[in-house]
Amino acid sequence: MTKRSVEILDVTLRDGSHSMKHAFTKEQVRETAKGLDKAKVNYFEVSHGDGLGGSSLQYGLSLVDELELIEVAASVCEYSKISVLLLPGIGTKNDLNDAVKAGAKMVRVATHITEADVAKQHIELGRELGLKTVGFLMMAHMAPVEKLVEQAKLFESYGAEVVYVTDSAGALLPHEVTERITALKNELSCEIGFHGHNNLSMAMANTVAAVQAGATYIDGSLRALGAGSGNTQTEVMVAVLEKMGYNTGIDLYSIIDVANDVVAQYMPRPQEINGSSLIMGYSGVYSSFLLHTEKAAKRFGIDERDILIELGRMQAVGGQEDLIYEVAAKIAHNSSNTHTEAPIS
């Protein structure tokens, strides 16, 4: 019996940019890219964490221009192809044209779960440029399944060849992933992908659920380097999926080697589930808000978790990073008022 193939797309050099405070060096990118190429990963992503054009005060300035990083990565690859992420409103069509000149062969156009319609021209441009073109529906936990299907159909109608369910907050549980992927498999003809975050320790379980429900594209990052508690860990996923009888086409020893000998050497801290990232999964907050929230909590002398719970309650979405400081200031203000009003014993 032939094994079913699963395409593992590695996002270390893009989602990992959040954890690296967007400070990847050319050397780090070169060595990681070489390792991914040697392991025969078909596609890996290189961009600012918030996608092309993300380098800014709002999202964090890149140490090295992403186009240079894409060029470096492409220059050392014989096998692997480079993907870029593009969030319409942050990245532009010009950014995509430049990324293609630098060596990109795939674009993933990412929108909030209810906003696929803003991606039409970027998806069309991706197809015109001959790129593998993918739609990426973020914060998938925030909409009911019917809405997800409606939005995914829009992506497909614009020309997306794959549509992703993106658990940006690491908030989905396995049965919710199964339900979402199954609905998309039933209603769409294109391929379906899944991108997970490990805030509730569900990234691998969710990945398995997604593959079993029919997803054929799955994201991961080496040593889980990514926003929040990180992503599904690529090298572990290769072992798990191969053990389950799927064909990933990736060499297990080589992918373990690049994770340990390259990525683990430059990671600023282990990708663990701490109190804050756990609360992100629990309250459904965008994983990329983590480091901004830590900074705001320090500045206002308050508990990070209080900020995250409030952001979850407000249903804050990507692009609203400025809300983090507003919420922190309000909490600090309210708690100082409470303190002055408290009876002196």
Ligand X SMILES: CC[C@H](O)CC(=O)C(=O)O
Kindly list the residues in this chain that would bind ligand X in the complex (CB under 6 A): 15, 49-51, 110, 138, 166, 168, 195, 227, 287-288, 318
110 binds, among Mn ion, ligand X, none (CB under 5 to 8 A by kind): ligand X
Question: Which of the following is catalytic: 18, 22, 48, 141?
Answer: 18
3-class SS string, 182-224: HHHHHHCCCEEEEECECCCCCHHHHHHHHHHCCCCEEEEEHHH
318 binds, among Mn ion, ligand X, none (CB under 5 to 8 A by kind): ligand X
283 is in an annotated binding site: no
3-state secondary structure of 51: coil
168 is in an annotated binding site: yes
Residue showing the smallest CB distance to ligand X in the complex = 168
217 is in an annotated binding site: no
Q: 80: part of which helix (H) or strand (E)? A: none
**Minimum gap (Å) between residue 291 Cβ and Mn ion:** 14
Minimum CB distance to ligand X smaller for 62 or for 288: 288
**Minimum gap (Å) between residue 221 Cβ and Mn ion:** 9
Give the binding range for Mn ion (CB under 5 A) out of 8-16, 88-96, 108-116, 267-275.
8-16
Render 245-266 in DSSP notation, one character per residue.
T-B----HHHHHHIIIIIIHHH
**In angstroms, rounded to a whole number, what is the distance separating the alpha carbons of residues 130 and 224?**
30
**Minimum gap (Å) between residue 265 Cβ and Mn ion:** 22
Is 122 considered catalytic here? no
135 binds, among ligand X, Mn ion, none (CB under 5 to 8 A by kind): none
Minimum CB distance to ligand X smaller for 32 or for 254: 32
48 is in an annotated binding site: no
3-state secondary structure of 233: strand
156 binds, among ligand X, Mn ion, none (CB under 5 to 8 A by kind): none
Note whether 15 binds Mn ion by CB under 5 A: yes
DSSP state of 46: -
Minimum CB distance to ligand X smaller for 38 or for 195: 195
276 is in an annotated binding site: no
**In angstroms, rounded to a whole number, what is the distance separating the alpha carbons of residues 27 and 15?**
18
**In angstroms, rounded to a whole number, what is the distance separating the alpha carbons of residues 105 and 126?**
9
- Tell me if 162 sits within 8 A of 192, measured CB to CB: yes
288 binds, among ligand X, Mn ion, none (CB under 5 to 8 A by kind): ligand X
Note whether 45 binds Mn ion by CB under 5 A: no
DSSP state of 344: P
14 is in an annotated binding site: yes
Render 109-162 in DSSP notation, one character per residue.
EEEETT-GGGGHHHHHHHHHTT-EEEEEEE-GGGS-HHHHHHHHHHHHHHT-SE
- Tell me if 323 sits within 8 A of 313, measured CB to CB: no
**Binding-site positions for substrate:** 14-15, 168, 195, 286
**Binding-site positions for Mn(2+):** 15, 195, 197
Binding-site ranges for Mn ion (CB under 5 A): 15
**Binding-site positions:** 14-15, 168, 195, 197, 286
Show which residues are catalytic. 18
